[in-house]
Amino acid sequence: MEVIVLGSGGPGALGRASSSYVVTIDTEPRVLVDAGSGAFARIGEAKLALDALDIVLLTHLHVDHAAELPGLLKARAVASPVPVKFEIFGPPGSPGKRGGAYFPSTRQFLKLLFGPRGAFAYLPDFAAPITIESHEIGGSTGLDVGKPLVFNFGTFAISAVAGHHGDAPAVIYRLDHAGRSITFSGDIDAAGLPALRRIAAGTDLLVFDAPVLDPPESPAVLYTLHSPPRAIGEVARDAHVGRLLLSHLSPQTDSERQSVLASIGHSYGGPVTFAQDDMRMAIGFK
């Protein structure tokens, strides 16, 4: 397997595309993880063949993780001479009660985009015909302490369990193939870390969203949404992670790399890499 970083930044227009990755299976691009702004341009720069890219994993439905989905699906359809079936995974919805924001479920989100009365209703029949199969992970609260759901796709498997990102329902994903594995935390706060520890156990690569410094160096509200470096190191240690890839970087974490590494290093002694757009990281065979 190989991870190709399309976007390693956050919501700010600061030179990085927002969160997005492609995972190759036996050198073939198969899985898109998140679709943040800027990913469309990056996938073209990487000159990736799209004719087998048919699985999309959305960690949550914030703009900087999902806004580029229509363009990427259209690019895939234009690249294909035959009908395309997408398997799209994502979180359930949230009704927006008790002060939280409303979020559509993944099914409703896709219907609002591509359904018969959706914003891009033309798209499913514009080029190659598109069929979308949606899968929702977790309960309506966005936090589920149950076992991960496992989906098998021939030679590889995708495991998914609900994460936690403030009031936004969220999902953690793990891909396993040929004895190797990659886990994507998505944006995750303290309430989601127990689930991440379990699903990431023994993973070769943990891609961890890292936009904040240790308290009190970042705005207090961000700790209700994200995990600081000290917690990242503890999770990586407890889960016996082979390697960390820090992504979804803010200007603050990008400019304070040494302090981030020192904080993670209090608990975790494995290799740590800061993501960059267009970076490729191979996960070899055992």
Residue (of 195, 205, 185, 203) closest to 161 by Cα position: 195
pLDDT class for 141, splitting at 50, 70, 90? very low
Domain that holds residue 266: 2-282
What pLDDT score was predicted for residue 138? 79
What pLDDT score was predicted for residue 140? 46
Q: Which residue has the tokens 């936004």?
A: 168
Q: How many CB atoms lie within 10 A of CB 11?
A: 17
pLDDT class for 127, splitting at 50, 70, 90? confident
Cβ neighbours of residue 152 closer than 8 Å, sequence gap 6 or more: none
pLDDT class for 139, splitting at 50, 70, 90? low
Query: Using CA atoms, how far apart are residues 208 and 234, in angstroms rounded to an integer?
Result: 12
Q: For the chain, what is the radius of gyration of the CA atoms? A: 18
Query: Using CA atoms, how far apart are residues 32 and 131, in angstroms rounded to an integer?
Result: 16
Tokens of 4: 């190709």
Alpha helices in 139-280 (DSSP H): 193-199, 229-238, 251-255, 257-265
Query: Using CA atoms, how far apart are residues 50 and 72, in angstroms rounded to an integer?
Result: 9
CATH number of the domain within which 181 lies: 3.60.15.10
Query: Using CA atoms, how far apart are residues 183 and 36, in angstroms rounded to an integer?
Result: 18
Q: Among 1-10, 142-151, 225-234, 259-268, whose mean pLDDT is lowest?
A: 142-151
> Span 56-64, mean pLDDT?
97
**CB of 163 within 8 A of CB of 172?**
yes
> Span 27-56, mean pLDDT?
94
Helix (H) or strand (E) holding 112, with range, is helix 106-114
Q: Model pTM?
A: 0.94
- pLDDT tens sequence across 215-260: 999 999 999 999 999 999 999 999 999 999 999 999 999 999 999 9
Tell me how many domains the chain contains.
Answer: 1
Buried b (16+ CB within 10 A) or exposed e, 186-218: bbbbeebbebbbebbeebbbbbbbbbbbbeeeb
What pLDDT score was predicted for residue 96? 80
What pLDDT score was predicted for residue 222? 93
Q: 178 to each of 25, 150, 157, 160, how far by Cα in Å? A: 10, 16, 10, 18
What pLDDT score was predicted for residue 137? 92
Tokens of 264: 């993670």
pLDDT averaged over the chain? 93
What pLDDT score was predicted for residue 64? 96
What pLDDT score was predicted for residue 147? 78
> Span 14-20, mean pLDDT?
94
Tokens of 27: 């050198």
- pLDDT tens sequence across 95-118: 887 778 899 999 999 999 999 999
SS3 of 183, please? strand
What pLDDT score was predicted for residue 197? 96
What pLDDT score was predicted for residue 121? 94
